Chain A
Amino acid sequence: MATLAQPGPDTGPMRPNIAKAGLQLPAVKDYAQVDREIMGTLHPTRGWFILLMVSVACLGVGALSWIYQIHEGLGVAGYAPPVMWGVYIVTFVFWIGIGHAGTLISAILYLFRAGFRTTIYRCAEAMTVFAVMTAGLFPIIHLGRPWKFFWLLPYPNWRLLWPNFKSPLVWDVFAILTYLTISVTFLFVGLLPDLATLRDAEKNPFRKRILGALSFGWRNSENEWRHFARAYLFLAAFSTPLVLSVHSIVSFDFAMALVPGWHTTIFAPYFVAGAIFSGMGMVYTIIIPIRKFFKLEHYVTLNVMDAGAKLTLFTSMVVGCAYMVEYFIAWYGGVPAEQDYFMNRVFGQWWWAAWIMLTCNVILPLSLFSQKLRRNPTWLWILSLFINLGMWYERFVIVVPGLSHEFEPWQWTGYVPTFIDMGILIGSFGWFFMWFLLFIKQLPVIAISEVKEIVPPRLKEAASHGGGH
């Protein structure tokens, strides 16, 4: 919720509830319009139904692939020693990264009072939850014996065994479960007032009862809002370091190993910047069609797109800088295995993957220096697809070339994903978009109560209040 500041002294002008510098909604006139237009997006359409069917079909491909892998064993994935991490780990890191932009938009930009987040944060938050749900599947798929995943959890057991607390993989379990729990909590708490709005507008008694239960009997009283604003602030304050820690810990899965290209201290900030960059790409992939098909252009305005594009450009440049530092340190460090690895990655065996990464993540985003392109939704959407592709390849370039080109030349090998790998990759997109599509037709994609904070309230004495706020 946008209300953060303590009540000021009675004298002097009242401060606005939210920093408006980044957000102006001149076409949104009153609260009734907000309710009508945002709740108007909740009616299913044929296009939505077709997309849902496509997502479910993709999920089906993934499910069948996984069932086949469980039946046949992990050998059907494209692993070839020593490349025992492949598409599953690449896709795990990819989806975890996607989630990070959601938290950036909903929590970090909230703390920084960046007004442009207001109309896109709900989508981004939902994206975070579904992306982490998707990511969490991949370590389990990668286990080969997924039914033993709970061995990673520290629980009192008959054999008196405890996990190795020094293992980054156990750190991962804690980080991701915490991230998922806090993200779901943050999303749900933010949804409470909107669920109450849906409940009160609902005519169908069955749906009204469900929404009444989900909204926990929220009444919009000033007492509720007061505690809500404080709780929301602290959840945002917790989410901010959490998001930085989660991808840092994911990067430790690599950096704690002695593999050339992995054993580097830059990995934590490099992964965090990459995660936010990739998440911004996915936010655009999702939000641009939503604003067009739901006719929400006057909420997700060109100014909002422009501000987000600047953030994308900035994170792209941070990521580009990290790439250059990696190469520089490999050269400057003078370790032959490290130098050889990077030569192989950029000009050798994996040149094609590295150049897809560099083109999509560093070169194409430079177009965002042009204001005209920053305010062009079509270009932003196309660019977002390239960013998604480039960031998947970034993780591929980290995981596979490192393992395929270690210290011993006799170990050098290649890696080719199988149909099972690709089936599960497709299935992950189906899983993610299925949940997202179900979300956008059941719950508001724009936070109704936060938009109402921006819309000037009706005043009896407008002149004496200078238009009100």
Chain B
Amino acid sequence: MAGDTSMAQGMLGAFIEIDAACNAIAALRKQNVGRITVFTPAPRHEFEHALQPPRSPVRMYTLIGALSGAVFGWWISIWGSNYWPLVVGGKAISTWIPYTVFAFELMVLIGGLSTVAGLFIHARVPRLTMTVGYDPRFSGSHYGVWVECAPERLRDAETILRQAGAEEVRGDQ
């Protein structure tokens, strides 16, 4: 059933079949109706094929965080040893080989936390409110296709979603 679409800025289709959702995405992309957001209870390659998104930049956060952590691990141990020298067994004050333990652990720690920071920044979480287009069914057993478009394209979006086999199509703001 269609909702009131007169004030809507986008159109939402709820699908129970994954291929129907993918067909809708393909048709929407072909007609360049608007910006598409897909909701899926589990990650599926079918949507990656349909949307062809760019590669996630999270890996850059991982790389920079890991390198920073390793450098900091070596630095803190070498600097701390020189600042408060403890002579142990006649060994050098700063011995970089055992200090690799600190470099490694901090590489993992800072690299891991940077990775999560990258995830949060690019996935836009934490999110205080559910933005338009979301429906609780999308964490259950439905797939959602939300098309954000100009008001004059709403009718096209609705038609495509219905033709693809959406269980429900509604306008949203």
**Interface set of A (CB-CB < 8 Å, partner B):** 1-3, 5-8, 10, 14-15, 17, 30-32, 35, 154, 160-167, 171, 174-175, 177-178, 181-182, 185-186, 189, 192-193, 196-197, 199-201, 216-231, 234-235, 238-239, 241-242, 245, 249, 449-450, 452-453, 457-461, 465, 468
Q: Sample 29 A-B pairs with CB under 8 A, ordered by A number.
A: A6-B48, A7-B49, A7-B52, A14-B49, A35-B140, A160-B83, A160-B84, A161-B84, A165-B98, A171-B101, A178-B105, A200-B138, A201-B139, A217-B126, A221-B38, A222-B53, A223-B37, A223-B124, A224-B125, A225-B40, A228-B123, A230-B58, A231-B56, A234-B59, A238-B66, A449-B41, A449-B43, A457-B17, A458-B16
B159 at the interface (CB under 8 A from A): no
Please, which residue of chain A has its CB at the minimum distance from the CB of B136?
A: A200
B2 at the interface (CB under 8 A from A): no
Please, which residue of chain A has its CB at the minimum distance from the CB of B17?
A: A460
Report B88-112 CB contacts with A as 1/0, cut-off 8 Å. 1001000100110110111011011
Question: Is the CB–CB distance between B18 and A228 below 8 Å?
Answer: no
User: Which residue of the partner chain, among B88, B112, B137, contacts A185 with CB atoms under 8 Å?
Assistant: B112
Question: Is the CB–CB distance between B81 and A220 below 8 Å?
Answer: no
Question: Is the CB–CB distance between A227 and B58 below 8 Å?
Answer: yes
Chain A neighbourhood of B48, CB < 8 A: 6-7, 222, 226
Task: Report the Cα distance A2→B115, complex, angstroms.
Answer: 17
Question: Is the CB–CB distance between B84 and A162 below 8 Å?
Answer: yes
Please, which residue of chain A has its CB at the minimum distance from the CB of B66?
A: A238
Extra A-B contacts (15), CB below 8 Å, given A164-B88, A178-B105, A200-B140: A3-B43, A7-B52, A10-B49, A162-B81, A166-B98, A175-B101, A197-B41, A201-B136, A217-B130, A222-B37, A222-B47, A223-B37, A223-B53, A234-B58, A453-B42
Question: Is the CB–CB distance between A220 and B40 below 8 Å?
Answer: yes
Restricting to B33-79, which residues have a CB under 8 Å from any CB of A? 37-49, 51-53, 55-56, 58-59, 62, 66, 76-77
Question: Is the CB–CB distance between B83 and A166 below 8 Å?
Answer: no
Please, which residue of chain B has its CB at the minimum distance from the CB of A172?
A: B101
Task: Report the Cα distance A197→B42, complex, angstroms.
Answer: 11
Task: Report the Cα distance A5→B106, complex, angstroms.
Answer: 28
B30 at the interface (CB under 8 A from A): no
Question: Is the CB–CB distance between A189 and B116 below 8 Å?
Answer: yes
Question: Is the CB–CB distance between A221 and B37 below 8 Å?
Answer: yes
Size class of the contact patch on chain B: 35 or more
* Interface core residue of A241, A460, A465 (most chain B CB under 10 Å): A460
Task: Report the Cα distance A227→B39, complex, angstroms.
Answer: 14
Chain B neighbourhood of A452, CB < 8 A: 41-42
Chain A neighbourhood of B3, CB < 8 A: none
Chain A neighbourhood of B130, CB < 8 A: 217, 219
Question: Is the CB–CB distance between A458 and B17 below 8 Å?
Answer: yes
Question: Is the CB–CB distance between B105 and A468 below 8 Å?
Answer: no
Task: Report the Cα distance A157→B150, complex, angstroms.
Answer: 60
Knowing A7-B52, A175-B101, say if A221 contacts B140 (CB, 8 Å): no
Chain B neighbourhood of A449, CB < 8 A: 41-43
Please, which residue of chain A has its CB at the minimum distance from the CB of B62?
A: A234
Question: Is the CB–CB distance between A229 and B43 below 8 Å?
Answer: yes
* Interface core residue of B48, B101, B124, B139 (most chain A CB under 10 Å): B139
User: Which residue of the partner chain, among B43, B122, B140, contacts A17 with CB atoms under 8 Å?
Assistant: B43
Question: Is the CB–CB distance between A181 and B106 below 8 Å?
Answer: no
User: Which residue of the partner chain, among B45, B66, B95, B165, contacts A15 with CB atoms under 8 Å?
Assistant: B45
Chain A neighbourhood of B17, CB < 8 A: 457-460
B149 at the interface (CB under 8 A from A): no
B8 at the interface (CB under 8 A from A): no
User: Whole-angstrom distance from the CB of A120 to the nearest CB of chain B?
Assistant: 18
User: Whole-angstrom distance from the CB of A232 to the nearest CB of chain B?
Assistant: 8
Chain B neighbourhood of A14, CB < 8 A: 45-46, 49
Question: Is the CB–CB distance between B83 and A459 below 8 Å?
Answer: no
8 tightest A-B contacts by CB?
Answer: A217-B127, A200-B136, A31-B141, A452-B42, A162-B80, A231-B119, A216-B126, A3-B43
Question: Is the CB–CB distance between A197 and B140 below 8 Å?
Answer: yes
User: Which residue of the partner chain, among A154, A178, A234, A461, contacts B109 with CB atoms under 8 Å?
Assistant: A178
Chain A neighbourhood of B81, CB < 8 A: 162, 165-166
Question: Is the CB–CB distance between B39 and A249 below 8 Å?
Answer: no
Task: Report the Cα distance A304→B103, complex, angstroms.
Answer: 37
Task: Report the Cα distance A167→B81, complex, angstroms.
Answer: 12
Knowing A30-B141, A166-B91, A197-B140, say if A231 contacts B125 (CB, 8 Å): no
Chain B neighbourhood of A35, CB < 8 A: 140-141
User: Whole-angstrom distance from the CB of A176 to the nearest CB of chain B?
Assistant: 9
Chain B neighbourhood of A161, CB < 8 A: 84
Question: Is the CB–CB distance between A227 and B111 below 8 Å?
Answer: no
Question: Is the CB–CB distance between A217 and B45 below 8 Å?
Answer: no
Chain B neighbourhood of A228, CB < 8 A: 43, 119, 123
